[in-house]
Structure formats: C-alpha cells, structure tokens
Structure 1
Amino acid sequence: MKGEKQAAFYQSVLNSFDKAAALTDLPKGLLSHIRECNAVYQMRFPVKINNQIQVIEAYRVQHSQHRTPTKGGIRFSSHVNQDEVMALATLMTFKCALVDVPFGGAKGGVKISPRKYTPEQLEKITRRYTTELIRKNFIGASLDVPAPDYGTGAREMAWILDTYNTFKIGDIDGLACVTGKPVSQGGIRGRTEATGRGVFYGLRELLLQKDEMEAIGLTPGISGKRMVVQGLGNVGSYAATISQNEGGAVIVGVSEIEGTIYNKDGMDIDKVLRYRKEHGTMIGFPGSTKLEDRNGWLSIDCDVLVPAALESQIRIDNAHLVKAKIIAEAANGPVTDEAEAILLEKGVIILPDMFLNAGGVTVSYFEWLKNLSHMRFGRMEKRYNQNTYESLVNLVEKTTGKVIGKRERQVIARGADEVDLVRSGLEETMINSFYQIRELKNRRKKVNDYRSAAFVTALNKISSDYLSMGVFP
C-alpha cells in the first residue's frame, strides 16, 4: 500500500509537470528531456549488525545536470523506494531553479527505520552508503552534494564528510561535498531552521496580498491567522514557532504520530514542544483536546493548514474534509494532483512545496559557498560595519545634543553575524521567488494556480539554461 502511494507520488509530480508543460511554448523534445531523471543509482550493500549481515537497499538519483553540482537530501526511512526518490529528485530540480540556486536536482534514500538502530549502527550504515557514492562519483563539491532530509541530520552529514575526506585526502574543497553539517565542521548558522523559516517567509508574503485574501474572506497579514500544523519534525516545528513568535499566528491544531490535539483559542507551540520532549507525547497537553481520529487535523476549521510530514497526505479520498482556506506545503508532495483539483475547485489557495520548502536548499547553497570560500560569512565586514554605525550614532548625539540609550545603541550599531546574513539572504530569496511566481500567475490567463505558475517559472529558467549553454548540438 505504501509503495503504491509512493508510485502515485512520482506520477503526481509528472502529472503536474505535464500540466505546466502544456502551458508553455517550449520544444517538446526539450520538455521530454527535462521531465526524466538523468541517472538512477540503485544499490545493495552489506553491513554487519549484531554479528549478522544485513543487506541495505539504497538509492541516489540525479534528475538534472543542466547545472552542476546536483543537490538534494538523503532520506532514512523504511518506506524509501525508487519512485519516491525519483519524485523528490525531480522536485529538487524545479525547487533550485525557482529560487535561483545554481544546482541540478538530486535525492538520496536509504531503506531503514532509524529508530531500530543504535547510533553506532547508523554510523556504520551511513559510512557504507557514502563509500558507495564515492565509488560511483555520486558525491563531491562539483559533482553531487547531499544534505539532510527525513530521518537524517547534522550528525549523519558529519559522518558523510569524514568518510569522504578519508577517501579524498588533499581535496581542498572537501568540506563542500555535503551541507547541513554541524557548525563546528563547516556548517552554517541558520541551516537547521532554514526550511521552516522559508515556509514562514513564503506564507507571510501570500498573506500580504490584499486582493487574494479578500477573495477567500481573510484580512491581510499573518498575525491572528489560525494555523494547523501536521508534523513536528524539523520543518513543522520551526514553521510553527517562527509563525507564532515572529508573525503572530495562532496555532489551533497540531498533529503527530501519537495523534492530533486541538484548542480553538490557540496553543503556545513552544510549550507544546517542551511538553512533548518531557513526556514523550503531546497528548495531554494542558488546555488541549485530543481528537478521536488521528487524521482529524484535516478537518479542523482554520485559516492555514501546514502539512509538514510526508508525501500524499491529502488525497482524492480525504480532500473534501479540508476546511482551511490556504494550504502551505511545508512537506514534499503532501497534496496529490487529484486532491489539488478538488481543493482548487473549492477555492483553496495552495502554496506549492517546490517553492515553499526551498529554504533548506537556499541555505545549503550559502553553506556550500562558505565552504568553497573557506571563510565564515561576516568575518570581513562585521567589525567595520559596527564601527561605522557607532560613528554615526556618535554624530547624531553630537548634532542633536541628545543621548541614545545603551540598548538602542547596541541595536543600531551592531554588525551582522553569520546567522543575520543567512536569514537576510533567505528572506530576500523567498520574497523574490514568490513575486516571480505571482507575477506569472497574474499575467498568464491559463495559469490560475500557484503550482502551475511555479512549474512554468522553473521550466522557463531551466530551458533557458539548456538552450543558452549549448547543451543540445
């Protein structure tokens, strides 16, 4: 059943591509080439676990090499299969193009359930997988750059880096072979929160569009909007906390593997996360009600629904239950193409995954650049800027005869740290990309939804790369 959903996920991605391709005037041969995955590496490797040999199934897919290196996360999940990885790699190509990150799309997957292995066993599997990638030239700063995804994090990326450097002694750009690393090992500040923060920036811009909000009965702005979040992993937790703490959104519902909780007046998501960490579950959180149906998150009355877990969560059989006015796809492929048709008919606005969760790859790009330059962002200019701002504050005090308070002085005269620059670059990227998509949607009469507009925008960029670079003789 799960395999069927993943095959449907890949087909759903292709269906969305075909829908968008029909709205362009691009050559059919070029579109056919862009549509398909360039390389699929399917592997089986043995690992000794508890004195027994286990054969691990794993994949690395490079969808497009119109830009190199290719880029995409590595997923550890018992549900990994080739169709799923191909779908995710395909989305990565369009995601990178949308946010003007110069990578081709790729994705990796290892078919294991991380919860069933000790850290030592996971390290052994990760290093063995990396070795397989090295053998086939499927990893390298100029070839293919992995990153974290579902079931992986900074720890696994550190193991990948160490394994790569063991084989590639003397590679001066070895740090750039993988992103999402710990800061102490060449990572970048702000990477952990990047995808969730990108969700916030993209959603905030949509909610600022007065005409579109009026059409669905909402006032402009994210403040006060009732939000339901499905999935409290890295993406969902940061999307929720940032939307609440920086945007003023009200979290009325949260769903996780243990069930769904609800409070029509809202819940402090920071307290929900702390409660779950302390108790191992969020069920029983003070003031909340547990819904009888674990999938009840779908039908909660809210303004914004944020599916931030796995693909194919909103399907043709449950799309009619959705009461949200906006669906913000924080996960990859949470809404199938069949479900999307139903939701669009109902007037629901869907912010597509290929745009909304591009914050991760955007900040990964910043990390890659940092590794290639061999310098921390802000190191050269932070003190210069701080001294310049301090001089300006002193000049204002001297000219006006008024004294600026210590706290205000610190805010005004402070130079930007690495995390400030990363957040600024991410915000700029998400805002620019949103308005590119929206401008095309408003300009092209046949493009009446954000997913089609995002695909067409990305297709135009990718095809321009192919044609201008002389890829086709």
Structure 2
Amino acid sequence: MSTSDYSFFKGVERSFDKAAKFTRFSAGILEQIKACNSILRVKFPVRIGDGVEVIEAYRVQHSHHKLPCKGGIRFSMEVNQDEVMALAALMTYKCAIVNVPFGGGKGGIKIDSKKYSVFDLEKITRRYTSELCKKNFIGPGIDVPAPDYGTSGREMSWIVDTYSSLNPNDVNAMACVTGKPISQGGVRGRVEATGLGVFFGIREACAFEEDMVKLGLTTGIRGKRVIIQGLGNVGYHAAKYFQNAGAIIVGLIEYNGAIYDANGIDVDMAQAHRAKSGSLLNFPNARNIENISEGLEQACDILIPAALESVIHKDNASRIQAKIIGEAANGPLTPDADEILLRKGVLVIPDMYLNAGGVTVSYFEWLKNLSHVRYGRLEKRFSENRYAEIINSVESMTNKKVSEVERKIILKGPDEIDLVHSGLEDTMMGSYQEIREIYVNTPGVDDMRTAAFICAINKIGVSYEELGIFP
C-alpha cells in the first residue's frame, strides 16, 4: 500500500479492534465508540491583500459520550479530513485514559501560517471561529478547542474574543477554548504541562521494581541515560525535568543534527548554543551526529521522541538501544516498529497516555473559567495561617525555634501553579497504574498500547451503557 493510500484513521481503528477483543462490550457499543459523531468541513473566503482566498477548514467531534468535546486546532498544509478524524478519535481515548470528562475533538485549517501576516492570520482565525459558532461546533458545554501544531495562545485569544462577541449573554464564554494567555483566562502551568506529564509518566513506570528488573534497570530516574528528540516546548520541558531529577541527558536531536555525550549534556547550555549558532552541532565536548536517525540509535536507557511522526520504523527499530521508549510525540512509532521492539523486550509507553498532560491541564483551565476564580485564591492564606499555628504550637511545646528557612518552606500555601502541577502528577500516576494493571493481569495483552486502548474502551463503554441507549 502506498503512502498516499494510507489512512491514519483506519490505523487508529485497527489498534482499537486489537484491544476491543479483550473487552466485554457488544458489537453495537464498540461500533458506536469507534464512529466519528460529527464532521464539519467548511470553505470560506477571506480577503488577503488585494485578492480573496478560499480557506479550507475542519472540525471533528469524534465522541459525544461526554460533553464538551475537546481537542486542538492545527494550522498546516497537511490538514485533511482523515487526519483530523484520527486525531479526534485519539483525543477521545486519551481523555478517557486520564479520566478527563470530555469527548474527543480536533480541528484544522489548511494553510501555511508562515506565508501570512499576523493581521491575515487573525482574520482567518476569527472567520473560522464564526463558522464554528454558526454550525454549533464551539462552546463551553459543546466543543472546546485548544492550541495544536502551528497555533498558540495568540490564536486562542482571537477565538475567545470572537466567540464572546457573538455570544454576549454567555457568562461562561471564557471557557469556550483553553490554552489562552493568563490575562485572557488561561491557567498557570499550561506551557510546560505536556513535558511535565511525560516526566511524571515515565517516572511512574520506573517506580515498579518488577518491570525494571525485566529491563535490567534499577528503579527511579536518577542516573538513567536519556536521549530526547525535539527541543520544542514538549521536549525542552521534559529534558529539564529529567535533568533536575538526576537523569543524565546523553543525547539531544533536532531536525538538522544531533549531539551525544555519555558524560551528560546541560540542556540550557545546549539551547543557548543552538540559539546562537542555529544548530545543536559543535556543542562543546559532545559528538556530532548529522544523521538524526542515527541519533535515535545511540546507547541510552530512555528514548523520548518528542517531534515527528514515524521516526522509528521497520528499518531502524532493530538498532534502537533504549530499554524504555516514551512517546512524547503523536505516533513516533510505526506498527512495524512496535512489533520489532516488542520482540526485543523494550517497554513502549504509548503516546495516547504519555502526552496527555496538555489536555489534563486544559481541563483544569476549563474548570477555572467555569468557576470564575483563580486556583489557590480561597485557600492560600488559610493554609499559611494554619501552618503558622502548627509551628507556633510545636515551638511552644519543645521550646525550640524553627529556622527561618524551614519556616518559609513550611508556611508556603499553594499557588495556582502548585495546585495545577499536583493535579497533573496525581493524574499521570493514577492513569499509569490503571494501564499497567490491565497490561499485567490480562492474558494475551503483551504491550502497553493495547492495554491503554482497553482502558479507554472500558470507560467509554460503561458511559454508553449507563446512558441507556443500548440494551
């Protein structure tokens, strides 16, 4: 089958079908879970310069078992209906895995954003938002977009402003989109959320001694050799958290080359070198690797592809030396690579769980917008006052004074970012434990990806049963 004939959505369905055999649900429920509920394809004119361009755009709501639907909007020339359907489906399963009560959605505008001015991008984004409003494909309780490839908080602020102007009586209008700037109702901790989620997920995997013994590794993150592909938002933050936890970053890979140093690479110094020279290559004391595929094949304990799709495939999977692969990007392993790595005994932590930090913190932002109050505002001073009372009581009973450094640490009440990080940590730890329990206790399930799909199907299937629409 040629690349042009490949269907991303059919590929997701194949993974679903593999997992569905291990569930108890009827064929009808399984078909309903798989199906895309609503697909919007629009073309609209926008005046660009002296002419008019017709813009092609999509929004897919994959599942309505929970509302609102949730998923990013991407700006890319590669956007097509099949891709958006597949990504929306993966969002459904991702939200179920991490216990976020959303159905899956996804959107896309088929443009090369680099070719447009900021003014023109704003016009396109606002017109797209008005189309979503007209078709009832956006709203705090209907469908809540977020940033994705080619978009950021800037585009989200345009969307919320347009939605608010078209829905002036909606007191919860701010919750129509997440990933917004803080001043526009965003939540602290959203920027690093996906990279931090990757760290929490892999850290939890490394906490199980039984699993690490099988891989020939010790428990914990400290001392483990890590290679990270992609120093964008996700890869950079993941690298920083691993480095701060005592891991050794031995390799960094970007689109124009890779560097490797068995003694370790300082992430911030490498970023500074890249910003100055335009490349990671020629970083002091590191070995240059101009072939990025070869960079993936270097010796390490943990490999984190955080950039492109299908970077590990049938032609290079056998040369991968990592014992743990954490899929920070969407679809960095092909099905052929999955099979090869499974035979090698590599632990692959699947993307639909591992990069769910973004949607988890988006959920927190949505809740913040609906409650109209910043996290920590109600409890911060109360907590600090209670801690002060406890310290005073201890000092009174022991006749000893707590040092000023200790006092500051103990007295600190939770800020918004503390609560967001705590919620994300709890989510990633609990969800991994659910997936692992299925992986360990279900005969015939030999990989974490299938276990993750089973986890999602079980939760969605129960939702449909309890809706009462199936006998």
**TM-score (ref. length: structure 1):** 0.96
SS in 2 for 1:165: helix
Separation in structure 2 between the aligned mates of residue 259 and residue 129 of structure 1, nearest angstrom: 37
SS in 2 for 1:105: strand
SS in 1 for 2:89: helix
Spell out the pairing of 1:49-448 with structure 2 (5 A cutoff): 49-245=48-244, 247-448=245-446
SS in 2 for 1:71: strand
Relative to structure 2, which stretch is displaced further, 318-327 or 13-22? Answer: 318-327
Relative to structure 2, which stretch is displaced further, 115-124 or 335-344? Answer: 115-124
Unmatched tracts of structure 2, length 5 or more: none
Separation in structure 2 between the aligned mates of residue 467 and residue 85 of structure 1, nearest angstrom: 27
For each residue in 1:71-122, what CA deviation from the matched residue of structure 2 results, as whole angstroms up to 9, or x when unmatched?
0011122222222211111110011111111100011112223333332222
The aligned amino acid for 1:232 is L
Q: Which residue of 1 aligns with 2:22?
A: 23
Separation in structure 2 between the aligned mates of residue 52 and residue 249 of structure 1, nearest angstrom: 54
Structure 2 CA distance for partners of 1:28 and 1:435, relative to 1, 3 Å: same
Separation in structure 1 between the aligned mates of residue 322 and residue 217 of structure 2, nearest angstrom: 11
Separation in structure 2 between the aligned mates of residue 55 and residue 317 of structure 1, nearest angstrom: 41
Structure 2 CA distance for partners of 1:275 and 1:125, relative to 1, 3 Å: farther
Relative to structure 2, which stretch is displaced further, 309-318 or 322-331? Answer: 309-318
For each residue in 1:351-384, what CA deviation from the matched residue of structure 2 results, as whole angstroms up to 9, or x when unmatched?
0111111111111111101100100111111100
SS in 1 for 2:352: helix
Structure 2 CA distance for partners of 1:284 and 1:47, relative to 1, 3 Å: farther
Separation in structure 1 between the aligned mates of residue 191 and residue 261 of structure 2, nearest angstrom: 28
**TM-score (ref. length: structure 2):** 0.96
Structure 2 CA distance for partners of 1:300 and 1:8, relative to 1, 3 Å: farther
The aligned amino acid for 2:295 is W
Separation in structure 2 between the aligned mates of residue 78 and residue 282 of structure 1, nearest angstrom: 27
Structure 2 CA distance for partners of 1:43 and 1:280, relative to 1, 3 Å: farther
Q: Are the counterparts in 2 of residues 62 and 70 from structure 1 also a CA contact under 8 Å?
A: yes
SS in 2 for 1:295: helix
SS in 1 for 2:243: helix
Relative to structure 2, which stretch is displaced further, 353-362 or 32-41? Answer: 32-41
Q: Are the counterparts in 1 of residues 72 and 145 from structure 2 also a CA contact under 8 Å?
A: yes
Structure 2 CA distance for partners of 1:127 and 1:281, relative to 1, 3 Å: farther
The aligned amino acid for 2:11 is S
Separation in structure 1 between the aligned mates of residue 268 and residue 416 of structure 2, nearest angstrom: 25
Separation in structure 2 between the aligned mates of residue 292 and residue 286 of structure 1, nearest angstrom: 16
SS in 2 for 1:457: helix
Separation in structure 1 between the aligned mates of residue 181 and residue 3 of structure 2, nearest angstrom: 33
Identity of aligned residues (%): 56
SS in 2 for 1:219: coil
Structure 2 CA distance for partners of 1:187 and 1:404, relative to 1, 3 Å: same
Structure 2 CA distance for partners of 1:363 and 1:228, relative to 1, 3 Å: same
Unmatched tracts of structure 1, length 5 or more: none
Q: Are the counterparts in 1 of residues 293 and 311 from structure 2 also a CA contact under 8 Å?
A: no
Structure 2 CA distance for partners of 1:254 and 1:112, relative to 1, 3 Å: farther
Separation in structure 2 between the aligned mates of residue 107 and residue 2 of structure 1, nearest angstrom: 26
> How far is the alpha carbon of 1:300 from its aligned partner?
1.5
Separation in structure 2 between the aligned mates of residue 283 and residue 165 of structure 1, nearest angstrom: 47
CA RMSD, 1 decimal: 1.7
Structure 2 CA distance for partners of 1:76 and 1:3, relative to 1, 3 Å: farther
Structure 2 CA distance for partners of 1:222 and 1:99, relative to 1, 3 Å: same
The aligned amino acid for 1:390 is A
> How far is the alpha carbon of 1:269 from its aligned partner?
0.9
For each residue in 1:258-278, what CA deviation from the matched residue of structure 2 results, as whole angstroms up to 9, or x when unmatched?
222222222111222233233
SS in 2 for 1:402: coil
Separation in structure 2 between the aligned mates of residue 278 and residue 234 of structure 1, nearest angstrom: 18
Structure 2 CA distance for partners of 1:313 and 1:52, relative to 1, 3 Å: farther
> How far is the alpha carbon of 1:281 from its aligned partner?
2.8
SS in 1 for 2:400: coil
Separation in structure 1 between the aligned mates of residue 273 and residue 155 of structure 2, nearest angstrom: 27
Structure 2 CA distance for partners of 1:263 and 1:121, relative to 1, 3 Å: farther
Q: Are the counterparts in 1 of residues 375 and 419 from structure 2 also a CA contact under 8 Å?
A: yes
SS in 1 for 2:367: helix
> How far is the alpha carbon of 1:202 from its aligned partner?
0.5
Q: Are the counterparts in 1 of residues 256 and 290 from structure 2 also a CA contact under 8 Å?
A: no
Q: Which residue of 1 aligns with 2:31?
A: 32
Q: Are the counterparts in 1 of residues 147 and 179 from structure 2 also a CA contact under 8 Å?
A: yes
> How far is the alpha carbon of 1:394 from its aligned partner?
1.3
Separation in structure 2 between the aligned mates of residue 46 and residue 2 of structure 1, nearest angstrom: 34
The aligned amino acid for 1:4 is S
Separation in structure 2 between the aligned mates of residue 310 and residue 50 of structure 1, nearest angstrom: 33
Relative to structure 2, which stretch is displaced further, 174-183 or 80-89? Answer: 80-89
> How far is the alpha carbon of 1:3 from its aligned partner?
6.5
Separation in structure 1 between the aligned mates of residue 422 and residue 206 of structure 2, nearest angstrom: 20
Q: Which residue of 2 aligns with 1:452?
A: 450
Q: Are the counterparts in 2 of residues 16 and 337 from structure 1 also a CA contact under 8 Å?
A: no
Q: Which residue of 2 aligns with 1:11?
A: 10
Q: Are the counterparts in 2 of residues 272 and 282 from structure 1 also a CA contact under 8 Å?
A: yes
> How far is the alpha carbon of 1:8 from its aligned partner?
4.4
Q: Are the counterparts in 2 of residues 232 and 255 from structure 1 also a CA contact under 8 Å?
A: yes
Q: Are the counterparts in 1 of residues 250 and 261 from structure 2 also a CA contact under 8 Å?
A: yes
